[in-house]
Structure 1
């Protein structure tokens, strides 16, 4: 039974985020991406009958001409589903107009806007002038009846500025959450991508979030405990639910257990094959029954670093399956 769908609608993004490889993978030909008809067949598949969450992402989803059509499909086929969509906030007026149009179709939509710290830090990470655009986008979206959350991706370049984002969220009466670069398609390929962090960085992060984010709910504390163990270079294993409870579909219709997009874990393609059929094949069956995963393996990345995000979507559902084995105190 699949409960969560991560649907990447496009690779196209005008951002220049330093830790994201999508700027190297951009496609300017939307015709090469999955059609709305293929996405309809996916949403109508019996395996998604009980789906409870859908995560619409990209690229920059508001720059795709088919994103609105996808929301129309969701309104028709899954009107009560939990739905969230991360956006850059780079385009205030465009974002406002687009979301105002979408909101009647999906009033329960949650929008996540990335902000990495004060102007000089955010602009260094995301591109010059981006901090101002994000603030303008936030203020426009606050005029809508829309659930907006701030997201900070913690890296060595901004690890001292977590409290800045937390304070901003509280001052604006917005939710917030923390996330970490996920090794796979978007991160982990460059020499500057950090797997193991200095203890000074870890301690600085810990001091800022123990009495704030970690105190909000037990799930947050467990996410941080696991992430800290990874940063410290410890062995962390999980009982991976990706593929068994969640699937990821890339902009071209390829189906994977998660956003690692590893070719040896590709189930099939929604443009040529029904989801139910592809998940009964041998390769899919082998992955779906994989018991535990190491975080440095491709399957291990899907087991934790994407699972952290899904924890927010499901209220902790996936973290019920995390097991602590020797090497990690989770």
Structure 2
């Protein structure tokens, strides 16, 4: 069913109406192969159909859907939440007054300091939302078409603006691993140590670690093979020496409330969150005396990839180990391949010595 674009008494309420409809549309179009709680998703859909009075309530519904196992919904919603929070301060009387110039202005204010990857995500989210509006609004047999492309938006700088990943040096990794061994967490110490060591020793994503089931880890001589369910529901296998994680794997408490068999669960039987894993990474980094601009769990993956390339100089190996679809994604880990730069420094030093003599 289609509705007039300005379907409510003010812009704020109209935008909320369409935002709720868009979220409902995304909930039913995203892949549900990871869905763990169909009843929770049904509840969210039911409440969305009845109308959502506030952006905070809609935010809560999105989080419920994400926690139920519907991946990707936050990626589409969060930029629109930020956009809404800024748009409501503009003195416009109709959604029809929103154009590329206004959108670009708002994007410039809400994406300052973000990486190019995040800015691209904001751009895609905005374009998809207004494309949805183009197709769903209608009044007197006519639709208002925004036709938002943001081709000239200057928020994205391209490859030259790519930021280098945050990572630990070999010495810092040793201190980090020692801090893991010495750490005492308030709850489930073996579980927390195991997930940190699996990520740092294999480079898998935090989300991939949280999806691990006990049956995904099996012995192969001196190794553990770990079956990973990766992005796009593709599978790959990573390996780790058994002695590195076996004591923690043997000691981890199995909570049988979790009938699906997930390895990293809380005391209620639900899976851990990425935010929780990042918090324990920060605790261990603090204990090890390591300070980084970005202390989240994803930094462990960057560390694994950086040190792997540094020691092997094999970009294809990095691509396969990290499960990157494209070799270009892996190229960022060549950032410290500075042997030729060292040669240049030596040449300049020799020239300087010749001048001094």
Q: TM-score range by the shorter chain?
A: under 0.3
Query: TM-score scaled by structure 2?
Result: 0.25
Which structure has the highest helix share of the two?
A: 2
Query: TM-score scaled by structure 1?
Result: 0.27
RCO greater where, 1 or 2, for CA within 8 Å and sep 6 or more? 1
